Structure 1
């Protein structure tokens, strides 16, 4: 499934404190850069799967989780949110977005 030991998963920064507030003691460690980048990719797949399985009510929150991971991945690539948006805008300018709902079925 993933490239890491069976132990652990990447969690949001405040999760350990939330666990402490619930009366438990979390066991955590800080991933090195290579592991962090790999676990972020795993987390993206996890969050996308949750979005795809979500009902209409929970879909926006799940999509926000996807965006959080995308922003973290971009940061690891040295791309800030503003630069990421500029890249998206440039691609949309060149190739368009998805608002017209066009489905391509091939060429004649």
Structure 2
């Protein structure tokens, strides 16, 4: 996100409805595409930070939040979840995954 600080924060679509159900009136607006992408990028960093700070049990929900934001971000660049999975699988086939816990420390 650029140096400007935007007021408010991107929230899930049903949050205004939930606020109304609690007897309050939310103040919202719909971001344009440029602002939406900026806010998604900021939200991804926020969710990753929350994931990293959470204990193992809470990380399950935080991981779902990270994935939700990531899927929204890739949709903005024209990639649907199935395409993303195909790209992930191809990279895993070509270069492997991370299951073997390999740490590279350089070359001799």
Paired residues in the alignment total 107
Q: Which residue of 1 aligns with 2:4?
A: 3
Residue 86 (structure 2) aligns with: 86
TM-score (norm 2): 0.95
Task: Please report how far the alpha carbon of residue 3 of structure 1 lies from its aligned counterpart in structure 2 after TM superposition.
Answer: 3.3
Find out whether 1:72 has 2:72 as its counterpart. yes
Q: Distance in 1 between matches of 2:12 and 2:39?
A: 12
2:32 maps to 32
Structure 1 match to 2:15 = 15
Structure 1-normalised TM-score? Answer: 0.95
How many angstroms apart in 2 are the aligned matches of 1:39 and 1:67? 15
Task: Give 1:4 deviation, angstroms.
Answer: 3.5
User: Whole-Å Cα distance in 2 between the matches of residues 43 and 31 of structure 1?
Assistant: 14
Structure 1 residue matching 2:19: 3-state secondary structure: helix
Q: CA RMSD in A?
A: 1.2
Listed one character per residue, the Cα deviations across residues 36-74 of structure 1 (whole Å, up to 9, x for unaligned) are 001000000000000000001100100000000000001
Unpaired runs of 5+ in structure 2? none
